[in-house]
Amino acid sequence: MNLPQIIIAFLAAQTFIQVPGPNPILMCGTPGAWDESVIEACDAIKDGGRYYLFYHGVPKDKARWGAGGYRLGLATALHPLGPWTKLGDRPVLDVGPAGSWDDHHVACAMIVKEAPGKYIMWYSGYNRAEQEKPKPAQHISKWDIGLAFASKPEGPWTKYEKNPILHDFGYVGGVVKRNGRFFLYTEHPIGSTAPDYGPISVATADKPEGPWTVWKDNPALPSGEKGAWDDGGCSEAEVFWRDGLFHLFYGGAKEYQPRMKTRESIGYASSRDGFHFTRHAANPIAPREAQPNAAALAEVHTLVEPPFIYAFHTLRYIDPAHVPRARGRTSVLEDIGVQVLATRRPFTLPMPVMTLNSLAAGAATELGDCPPICLSNITRVSLSIECKFAATARKGLTLRVRGSSDGLAYDGADILTCDLDCRAGGVNRKSVELKSKPPFIKVLVENGDEREPARQIKVTATLGG
């Protein structure tokens, strides 16, 4: 068997079992925030027992935040599925001063820990003068690549004084260091396959700042063949090296007009040399249809913790009316989600369903407060509820579970009810197995005490497959 046949055999045999996360895991900011308008996924890393999720966002309040577009933000968590907490109330990397190469957008961060206390960020930047130029009919968009450095993921991040390091090379998706050589993967040329989409291209260098050599035979991953699910091209693609292969996870587009109606799912490809990638035989490995109300799973970035691959992505919606946790928000166009890809069975996956600092006396949550939990690839489910009660509390909580066939409309009757007894002044926890397994579930929590709020409520679904 020759090398291409070996790769094809590997791709055909590789298993990916899709389990949508408790989405959205990160949402647009509150009114007036720097990321109020839209947020999109960047890199996710683990460092020192904590997880870091970089993203770029856009403000609505131009009077407060200036005329620039995308800035880079950061959220942290103790588990890949969250709960995620945004770091501070400002970007970790802002647009440059007027007239600079990145004075309009900074986006698409990719982080590499080069050594203890040395973190390197590659990012894409865009100049306002470029924004104002007449655009060709093909909608080609020219973004440059820059570097920033920090001693820890939280920053402060300092931009490289000789930025940009690479001109007109698109949206950064992934960086791999292999045998002392850096491989930089981007979506480029942007707009060459569909508006805002393109193939995946690669450049290499011996040092982070370059000089960078763009591979003469790009693209490394072209758009799919005409009629295919990804014939509109790709959004950003994360690449990593493991077990003798370069692994590439990407958002593959099926073009619709206008551009925001383009449908996008997650695909996978692999390469031995980092230049020639072969698509998985069963692509898309994570179709958008598994995520209720998803128009697109875009800008894919991965974090590997065997047997799971956590594929973080921008989550674009079909219908704003069905977006979970939308109460009080001014924008529900795009958030950030995650698809869990199990690479073998059996597996056990704990998934946070609801985290509440407080639930008022006599109050109850609504279905819109809970993300849809997909059970399509799940064979066993248990739910646990935990709460800290006030010293004068007298009644406990009730957990109710509702089922759905499509993840959008939920039954009016409970398929499970679980009472958590009050432990005045202490913490109580209870677990129960879910016998009925509809395609989707959501939970409701009621505080039975009419005088005291319930605090530190956590509901977790443990999914087995």
CATH entry, 348-464, from 2.60.120.380, 2.60.40.10, 2.130.10.30, 2.30.30.30: 2.60.120.380
CA–CA separation, 222 vs 275, rounded Å? 11
The whole-chain average pLDDT of the chain stands at 94
At 289-311, the pLDDT tens digits run 999 999 999 999 999 999 999 99
What pTM was estimated for this model as a whole? 0.95
Q: What's the pLDDT at 203? A: 98
CA–CA separation, 164 vs 183, rounded Å? 17
The average pLDDT across 89-113 equals 96
CA angle 169, 175, 177 (to 5 degrees): 130
The average pLDDT across 380-401 equals 97
With b for 16 or more beta-carbon neighbours within 10 A and e for fewer, the 42-79 pattern comes to bbbbbeeeebbbbbbbbbbeeeebeebbbbbbbbbbee
At 203-216, the pLDDT tens digits run 999 999 999 999 99
How far is residue 302 CA from its own chain's centroid? 8
Q: How many residues does the structure list for the chain? A: 465
At 369-386, the pLDDT tens digits run 999 999 999 999 999 999
For residue 65, what is the enclosing H or E element?
helix 62-65
Q: What's the pLDDT at 111? A: 98
Q: What residues does CATH 2.60.120.380 cover in the chain?
A: 348-464
The average pLDDT across 385-393 equals 97
The answer as to CATH 2.115.10.20 being correct for domain 3-342 is: yes
134: cis peptide before it, omega within 30°? no
End-to-end CA distance of the chain: 34
**131 pLDDT tier (thresholds 50, 70, 90):** low
The two three-digit tokens of residue 424, written as one number = 């005045």
Q: What's the pLDDT at 136? A: 61
The average pLDDT across 1-10 equals 45
Percentage of the chain modeled with pLDDT above 90: 88
CA–CA separation, 31 vs 36, rounded Å? 6
Q: Are 64 and 88 in contact (CB under 8 A)?
A: no
CA–CA separation, 402 vs 432, rounded Å? 15
143 vs 436, more confident: 143
CA–CA separation, 320 vs 326, rounded Å? 8
The average pLDDT across 426-453 equals 96
CA–CA separation, 247 vs 269, rounded Å? 6
Q: Are 400 and 444 in contact (CB under 8 A)?
A: yes
Bridge partners, residue 33, by sequence: none
Q: Identify residue 373 by its one-letter amino acid code.
A: I
At 219-237, the pLDDT tens digits run 999 999 999 999 999 999 9
CA–CA separation, 58 vs 61, rounded Å? 9
Q: What's the pLDDT at 256? A: 87
The average pLDDT across 310-328 equals 93
Percentage of the chain modeled with pLDDT above 70: 95
Going by the DSSP 8-state scheme, the letter that residue 307 receives in this structure is: T
Q: Are 28 and 329 in contact (CB under 8 A)?
A: yes
At 20-74, the pLDDT tens digits run 999 999 999 999 999 999 999 999 999 999 999 999 999 998 768 877 799 999 9
Q: What residues does CATH 2.115.10.20 cover in the chain?
A: 3-342
**5 pLDDT tier (thresholds 50, 70, 90):** very low
The average pLDDT across 338-350 equals 97
Q: Which of 96, 94, 58, 50 is nearest to 75 (CA)?
A: 50
With b for 16 or more beta-carbon neighbours within 10 A and e for fewer, the 402-426 pattern comes to bbbeebeebeeeeebebebebeeee
Is pLDDT at 13 greater than 60 in this prediction?
A: no
